[in-house]
Amino acid sequence: MAIELVCVFVDNTISDTAYVATPWVWAVPSSWYKRIIWVISWPLIGVMFVTVPDCRQQRWRRWFIVTFVTSILWIGVYSYLMVWMIAVVGMSAFVCLVYPCILVIILSIVIAIVLYYAKRQQNSNTQYKHISALSIDDLEVLAVNT
């Protein structure tokens, strides 16, 4: 079933002599992948069908301003929801991926500082020596000395 719209431009004015077919929004597509996309987008199609008047139809032709305003409102609502969802996903990715990496870096810096001061305390009777490399064995020295 198709809804027909009358619209032909004659001398820059609209004439009611030709019909342009518009697709019916509840028609189920024939191919399986288009059907899957249609089922996924069905809630959006339903909300739009109920809240936005179709000014292509003859009975809603004078409601084009309402169609325009409600379309802009829905674009704003969808934009807000997408930004909010991206913020939630981004924060989840930060907490799950970036935050542990930051903790590992901070922990490794703290361990390096502890090892540095442990090595320095071990060599306190001699003059200050620059430690070029630290190892896990230095932690055993710190544990034995305390």
Model pLDDT for residues 26-78, shown as the tens digit of each residue: 788 888 898 999 899 888 888 988 999 988 888 888 999 999 999 999 999 99
- Amino acid (one-letter) located at 133: A
Average pLDDT in the chain: 76
**CA–CA separation, 71 and 56 (whole Å):** 14
Question: What percentage of the chain carries pLDDT values higher than 70?
Answer: 68
- Reference 118, options 94, 92, 99, 145; nearest CA is 145
Residue 91 predicted with pLDDT over 60: yes
Whether the predicted model's global pTM rises above the 0.75 cut: no
Residue 124 predicted with pLDDT over 80: no
Coil, helix or strand at residue 41: helix
